Structure 1
Amino acid sequence: MKIIKYISAILLLVSNQAFSESTYITIPGEGWSLSLDTPPMTATKSQAEGRLLRYTGSSITTGVTLSVNTEIEATGSHKECFDFYWGKAQKNPMLMKETINTFKNSKAIYATHYSEGEYRGQPFKTANGHAFFVNNGVCIDLHVSHWPREKKSDKIVKDILMSLKITK
């Protein structure tokens, strides 16, 4: 019986470590990157033009999707960046407005919410979170989503958002 408990504890530890790794996203021409604790990204795509970046990454096995968008507008403060992007995000008809929660710390202004709808004829439910912040004159929208939405989705999304670091 002790062996089963020991093996179970090892498997739990290994599975938690396998879920999280450091993901680095370099902001073009800036000399700094975003660092996030995410599951391994199994598919990524990025498009850069000057200081603008459009990045998406996903983990097929965990249902986590990550995107980073930069702007050189609305770069005066976290609030200005938040207002710029969040104003656009709220126009999404699949966003469930009654689930919106906003909060902030010194790193960013955050918004979490659920989305529901249909994609390619299939219904979906996701948990979503955003971190909006300015660094070195660049406004950044970090978006994390987890599909399918389940009890642990809120924690997964928030843990990734809260792991945000700027590295040089």
Structure 2
Amino acid sequence: MSGAGAPDLSGLDASRLRISVVAASWHDQVMDGLLAGATSALGEMGIAEPEVVRVPGSFELPVVARQLARLGRDAVIALGVVIRGGTPHFEYVSAATTDGLSRVALDTGVPIGFGLLTCDDEQQALDRAGLPDSSEDKGREAAEAAVATLLTLRGLRDH
């Protein structure tokens, strides 16, 4: 299982930051876990009620993340899941979403927490969703990474 060697990003302070979460709607159980992990992490960092914007699927994450960045959010956490099926759809959606989120971050300078699960099957997604029986919490990790990156960028700017 991946996750070994992950940095400890606990203890971050996001209380004065404007952070939004954009989350896909497919695969309710997985998405509920990812969203709970992200919002719990943000709560621990001082954002009691982060803005959450829902979109139909993962493919729609980049365009909404870009709009949130343009509207002045300090960081955006993007959450979604794409599960491999019997057609090339998985590869197209996974690549387009990943490339789109990377482009948003590079074009706007706004950190994007990458919480897109790309899994071979539903069990892999459940294992990473931050549910009680999950081995990983990728929603939490995406939120922590976005805030840590934002604080790093601000530190560089201030020097």
- Ranked by relative contact order (alpha carbons within 8 Å, sequence separation 6 or more), the top structure is 2
Structure showing the higher helix proportion among its residues: 2
Greater strand fraction, Structure 1 or Structure 2: 1
TM-score, normalising length from structure 1?
A: 0.28
Give the structure with higher Rg (CA). 1
